[in-house]
Amino acid sequence: MLKRRRKFSRNWAADSAATMAMAKRNRFSSAWIWPAALIAGLLAASCSSTRDRPTSGPGGAVGETPAPVQYALSESVGGIRALEFSRDGRWLAVSERNPNQNRVVDLSSGEQAWAARLEKRLRGDYWATGLAGDLEYSPDGSILAVEAIDGSGPGFVFLLDAANGALIHALDGPTDFATSVRFNSNGTRVAALSYEFLESGARSVIWEWDVATGDVFRQIPLPPSEADWAESQAMDYAADGSLYVLGLSPQVYRIMPGAKKAVEVRTQSPAVTLCVSSDRNAIIVQTESPNEGVQAVEYVDAKTGRVVRDETAPNLFESLSARQRNLSFFAIRSADKLKYQVFHADTRVPAFETRDAKDAVQCFAVSPLGNCIAVGRESGVVELYDPKTGQVVVTYAPLPSMSDGTGDEAETPATTDWCAWLPSGAYSGSPGCEKWMIATAGGKKISESELKDLYRDDDAVREAFRKFAPN
């Protein structure tokens, strides 16, 4: 609903006086009609309030309901690279490309808990600036691992204090791009999937570090591939500590704890992507089917590395979400990359489709509480869905920082500026967020003053976020 200032009826006093006069003429009213009349007058005043019922506004004439409000950002913020909920479901970590930083949203209030810009790292004789990438919380929720790449090639992994974003370790190692980062089940190891260029083609390389010390534990290259890039690279730990990896080639590999080399997992068809189930005992692999118009999903026993069953379905979607293993739901992205089909993880029955907004979806995350699904889009917005209804409850957008005048984005302090809006048109945000927002109704652009007067409702947006916070 839309919000306006409360306005009281000009005639409430007269209405109350008339009611009390009638009460005097009624011989049975002497004991209780006077207070009842006063209450009636006050109720009349309250009922005449225009709160949540604006009588006019952009796109609507006086006495009519305004046209639905459409929101967009005034400039692209580079897209949402990754999303991850904390283990208790209270925090949502967001990896954004412009500015290259990570921030954490407190779902109990919708406010930013902290933001951290990825620092420069010395690489040989030059400083490399990391671009925010994949991220994951440690099992105990105390550490946030962030994968970063440099435009020139080197990759990094940062371990940040989940409470405040302070740097714990900067894990150097990957010589080229890093594409994925994961913790093992007890949080003692963290691994990154990277790749390095060769004279002919390239190869994927898995780096693994000791979380406590930040030291490299092992480095395992996969066999070379003729391809030098694959969009659906994926990696994750199984319950026994084994790593399952899909690198540059459509071949799944298994790396046992302490092993120095990877072994092939023989799927029935070339793999497209993979993920680990919520209990980490099964590997779910989407594969290419030899039959046109059909996709296959194969289930691998994580303890043995063998395929235990496979399923086929109409080829409506091309790739599983990289964040599928998050508990109760998984998603498959459409071929045009504009939406996800969301499924119940236990039954694999379709739950709903995300909104088709002509804006590519880039990442997907499910709250451990099972009450919220987050979808990151190329335009730089995050949509929070209620999985019971399949509807967007609130749309959140991290906003770019203002330049410090040095011309060096890496030197600009991290920003916590943000905005968020509801389907009703109500919005909230940090001070001055309106300058980043384009709001229209009925084809007419809403001015900043109209936006603040008619649609700003901090309480409504806060309550929308709280629907997803733990009790």
Q: Tell me the backbone φ, ψ of residue 41, rounded to 5 degrees.
A: -65, -40
Residues in the chain: 471
Task: Report the half-sphere exposure of 408 (CA within 13 A, side-chain side).
Answer: 8
Task: Provide the 3-class DSSP secondary structure of residue 330.
Answer: strand
Asked which of 231-245, 284-298, 422-436 is least confident by mean pLDDT, the reply is 284-298
pLDDT mean over 323-339: 73
Measure the CA–CA gap between 415 and 399, rounded to whole angstroms: 8
372, 64 in Cβ contact below 8 A? no
Joined tokens for residue 242: 């084994």
Pair type for strands 282-288 and 294-301: antiparallel
Q: Which of 15-19, 29-33, 287-291 has the highest mean pLDDT?
A: 287-291
Query: pLDDT > 90: what percent of the chain?
Result: 34
Let me know the angle formed at the C-alpha of 419 by 415 and 425, rounded to the nearest 5 degrees. 175
pLDDT mean over 18-33: 41
Q: 367: Cβ–Cβ under 8 A, 6 or more apart, which residues? A: 85, 89, 326, 373, 374, 468
pLDDT band (50, 70, 90) for residue 155: low
360: pLDDT strictly greater than 60: yes
pLDDT in tens, 376-401: 999 889 999 999 999 999 999 988 75
What pLDDT does residue 326 have?
47
150: pLDDT strictly greater than 80: no
What pLDDT does residue 123 have?
45
Q: Which residues pair with 137 in a beta bridge?
A: 144
Q: 223 or 55: whose pLDDT is higher?
A: 223
Starting from the edge strand earliest in sequence, which strands make up the sheet with 271-276, in order? 271-276, 282-288, 294-301, 306-314
419: pLDDT strictly greater than 90: yes
What pLDDT does residue 233 have?
75
Let me know the angle formed at the C-alpha of 151 by 148 and 153, rounded to the nearest 5 degrees. 75
Neighbours of 408 (CB within 10 A): 11
What pLDDT does residue 15 have?
42
Asked which of 55-59, 116-120, 144-148 is least confident by mean pLDDT, the reply is 55-59
Q: Which residues pair with 193 in a beta bridge?
A: 180, 206
What pLDDT does residue 465 have?
97
Q: For the stretch 254-291, what's the b/e string if a residue is b when 16 or more beta carbons lie within 10 angstroms of its beta carbon?
A: bbeeeeeebeebebebebbbbbbbbebebbbbbbebee
pLDDT band (50, 70, 90) for residue 229: low
What pLDDT does residue 373 have?
95
pLDDT band (50, 70, 90) for residue 275: confident
Q: How far is CA 167 from its chain centroid?
A: 22
Measure the CA–CA gap between 364 and 342, rounded to whole angstroms: 10
pLDDT in tens, 72-119: 988 765 689 889 999 899 999 998 876 667 889 999 988 888 888 765
Q: 322: Cβ–Cβ under 8 A, 6 or more apart, which residues? A: 82, 134, 180, 234, 273, 275, 363, 364
DSSP letter at 29 equals: -
Measure the CA–CA gap between 212 and 91, rounded to whole angstroms: 23
pLDDT band (50, 70, 90) for residue 288: confident
The mean predicted confidence, pLDDT, of the chain is 76
pLDDT in tens, 290-317: 665 556 778 888 889 988 876 665 433 4
